[in-house]
Amino acid sequence: MFKTKDVGDQSPNAVMAYGPGGLFNTPGLGLNRKVGKSKKKTGIKVGVKGSASSGDFDHGGRPGEIGGSESGDGGGGDDGESHSPGDGPKITSFLQATSKTPGIARDAAKVINSVHSLDDMPKVPVVATGGKQTLGYYKQTVDGRPVEIGLSKASSEDDQKLFAVHEMGHYIEGAGMEGGARNGAKEFAPFMKAVQASPEHAEWKSGKLSGAPAGASVAKYAEYLTQPHEIWARAYSQYIATRSGDIAMKGAVDRLNKIGSVSGMWSHKSFKPIGKAIDDMFAKRGWIK
């Protein structure tokens, strides 16, 4: 029995219950995230999934799928900062394809490759989630060992890509950055400070979320939005979208922005200092240059 900590991001069907008419009952918005901390899963069979069929995303993925990593194509978004990935390993070296790996995972990982490198980190299998209750999750043991990334097809393809990067952001923070955001690591302090200066954060803190339907019960959802590791994963996905210039991901961020602070994302203006803080963290780590 391994104790695990889930970082689960749930779907419309689950979150609809929070408000009359469904707080997040808008198809394709991809903003349906789970409320609160989840520690529901125990007894995960670590090391079973993903060890059977596979290989990492760089080498020998699924038969019939395009293998190999492409890195460094493009880069530099439209937000005034342009960097190249560092010389270290890329995320595609650490993601393990299984017979259940959705194709969107590979696309998402390639976008990450174009933005930054990593240090060596434990590998993680990527699987598809079956039900409609979950848009994605990252699961790790309590001591920070990755168990799996789960991705669902319950939203539009562009949103799926953004979500895949969001979950990979949880993985990187949890397994590649010593769980820094949730542990209050010093490294994350300037990033958190930039986040806390954003008007979006003020709204999440106030518990009054713009874009939420009248009468919806948003307090718990707002609390969820302010959890450091969730803030990190959302910021990370917006960072990858802006720095890569990936059209699909940028489109997804733009759509989420139009909804209001309930989406958990930042306006381009608010995001600039946050993106800069992530640049600084990654530059210090040698992940960008």
Residues of this chain that interact with Zn ion (CB under 5 A) are: 9, 230, 233
Cβ–Cβ < 8 Å for 141, 147: yes
Q: Residue 102 or 174: which CB sits closer to Zn ion?
A: 174
Q: Residue 118 or 235: which CB sits closer to Zn ion?
A: 235
**What's the min distance (Å) between Cβ of 255 and Zn ion?**
18
Q: Which helix (H) or strand (E) holds 106?
A: helix 103-115
Q: Residue 90 or 166: which CB sits closer to Zn ion?
A: 166
Residue pointed to by tokens 């990527």: 126
**What's the min distance (Å) between Cβ of 263 and Zn ion?**
13
According to DSSP, the β-strands at 4-10 and 95-97 are unpaired
Output Rg (C-alpha) for the chain, integer angstroms: 18
**What's the min distance (Å) between Cβ of 289 and Zn ion?**
28
Half-sphere exposure of 54 (CA within 13 A, CB side): 23
Q: Which helix (H) or strand (E) holds 135?
A: strand 134-141
Q: Residue 13 or 84: which CB sits closer to Zn ion?
A: 13
**What's the min distance (Å) between Cβ of 11 and Zn ion?**
13
**What's the min distance (Å) between Cβ of 163 and Zn ion?**
9
CA distance 22 to 16: 4
Q: Residue 61 or 166: which CB sits closer to Zn ion?
A: 166
